[in-house]
């Protein structure tokens, strides 16, 4: 960064490579803060953009929606925040006025805006965000852990606790055990799940799931559809689970997650994809068995606060789940690892040079 410019990883379109551009340093508006980025997670959902899914915001766009950093400057009307404070960013930035926001679900607001999705994100030296999105990072929590917590931990926590309404003693099936799913196993256990079954096409991912505490694992063989193992999943749960969390975003994995339910069960769709979610039952049985199919995106601010508190108390070790750390110049390479599933990229985090 020199003068009034900085480096940023810019997405110019699916037919063009990610590249580091020199861009102007953003000025904070009256309700904004300017942060020096310390760390930002690489999220698998961004791979969909690289493969052609439209971005919510205009191009070119700086990616990166899992940031943690330190306050550099505040807008004229911002109070309660000081230069140098360590913060993470919540994704629940709704308009604050609509029925969805006032009912307590700002992360589902139709006018929601999030860094790296709707406006420039954190794969940059500095980022401008609304002050309303800031959450303090507790003492003893690393900035890499805080960055991962913003989405990779807070999102499955929100999915299981708030959307899936998991209660102690229930069984859980987690379909897709990459970064989100692996954290989902740890969180489901802490929320009191009695039995957890993990499903994935990667033997390495299932080994990791077992180490994280899954009671049983089910492998989707190479070339098979996820639905081909529905019988194994149902058998592993003894007839079905109360909660199934789908973390892939493909039509067949969504279908499998619904089939994994016991009557009265809840399927929570966390994975991001463009295919319509199929329901593999006639309407009569779907109604008779009272299945619920529930979407889940991001988290509430309180979810992130609770996750960070769990990390500070030692109840949750986020840093242990980070498989690779990259610099800003290596972000494009990191996304290729995610796209190709190369070298078991469970969780990749971009770390600023001064934080490395």
Q: What is the pLDDT of residues 311-331, one digit of tens each?
A: 999 999 999 889 899 999 999
- Provide Rg for the chain, Cα atoms: 20
Structure tokens, 87: 């913060």
Calculate the alpha carbon distances from 221 to 182, 197, 203, 218 in Å. 20, 16, 9, 9
Question: First-to-last CA distance in the chain?
Answer: 17
Q: Which fold has domain 165-295?
A: Rossmann fold (3.40.50)
Alpha-carbon span 160 to 104, nearest angstrom: 17
What pLDDT is recorded for position 1?
45
What pLDDT is recorded for position 87?
98
Structure tokens, 342: 């190369």
Query: E strands, 223-330, where?
Result: 241-246, 261-269, 292-295, 324-326
Low-confidence ranges of the chain (pLDDT < 50): 1-2, 356
What pLDDT is recorded for position 354?
58
Superfamily of domain 5-151+298-351: Medium-chain alcohol dehydrogenases, catalytic domain (3.90.180.10)
What pLDDT is recorded for position 98?
94
What pLDDT is recorded for position 37?
98
- Report the candidate in 287, 228, 290, 232 with the shortest Cα–Cα distance to residue 253: 228
Q: CA 134, 136, 137 angle in degrees (round to 5)?
A: 125
Domain ranges of the chain: 5-151+298-351, 165-295
pTM of the model: 0.92
Q: What is the DSSP letter of 274?
A: S
Calculate the alpha carbon distances from 44 to 23, 49, 237, 247, 335 in Å. 25, 10, 28, 10, 8
What pLDDT is recorded for position 2?
46
């Amino acid at each position: 960064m020199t003068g009034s410019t900085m480096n940023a990883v810019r997405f110019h379109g699916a037919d063009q490579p990610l590249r580091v551009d020199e861009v102007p340093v953003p000025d904070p508006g009256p309700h904004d803060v300017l942060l020096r980025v310390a760390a930002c997670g690489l999220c698998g959902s961004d791979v969909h953009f690289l493969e052609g899914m439209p971005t919510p915001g205009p191009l070119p766009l700086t990616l990166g929606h899992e940031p943690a950093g330190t306050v550099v400057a505040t807008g004229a009307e911002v109070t309660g925040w000081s230069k140098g404070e360590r913060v993470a960013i919540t994704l629940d930035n709704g308009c604050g006025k609509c029925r969805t926001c006032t009912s307590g679900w700002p992360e589902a607001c139709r006018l929601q805006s999030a860094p790296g999705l709707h406006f420039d994100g954190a794969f940059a030296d500095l980022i401008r965000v609304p002050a309303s999105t800031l959450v303090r990072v507790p003492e003893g929590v690393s900035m890499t852990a805080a960055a991962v917590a913003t989405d990779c931990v807070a999102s499955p926590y929100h999915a299981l606790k708030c959307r899936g309404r998991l209660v102690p003693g229930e069984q859980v099936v987690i379909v897709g055990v990459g970064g989100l799913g692996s954290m989902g196993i740890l969180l489901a256990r802490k929320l009191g799940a009695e039995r957890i079954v993990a499903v994935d096409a990667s033997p390495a991912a299932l080994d990791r799931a077992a180490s994280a505490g899954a009671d049983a694992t089910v492998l989707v063989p190479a070339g098979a559809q996820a639905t081909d193992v529905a019988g194994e999943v149902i058998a592993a749960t003894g007839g079905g689970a109360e909660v199934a969390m789908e973390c892939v975003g493909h039509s067949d994995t969504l279908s499998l997650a619904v089939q994994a339910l016991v009557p009265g069960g809840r399927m929570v769709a966390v994975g991001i994809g463009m295919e319509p979610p199929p329901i593999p039952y006639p309407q009569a049985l779907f109604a008779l068995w009272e299945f619920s199919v529930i979407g889940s995106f991001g988290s509430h601010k309180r979810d992130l606060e609770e996750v960070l508190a769990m990390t500070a108390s030692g109840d949750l070790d986020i840093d242990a789940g980070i498989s690779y750390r990259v610099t800003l110049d290596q972000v494009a390479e990191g996304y290729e690892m995610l796209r190709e599933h190369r070298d078991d990229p469970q969780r990749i985090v971009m770390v600023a040079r001064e934080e490395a």
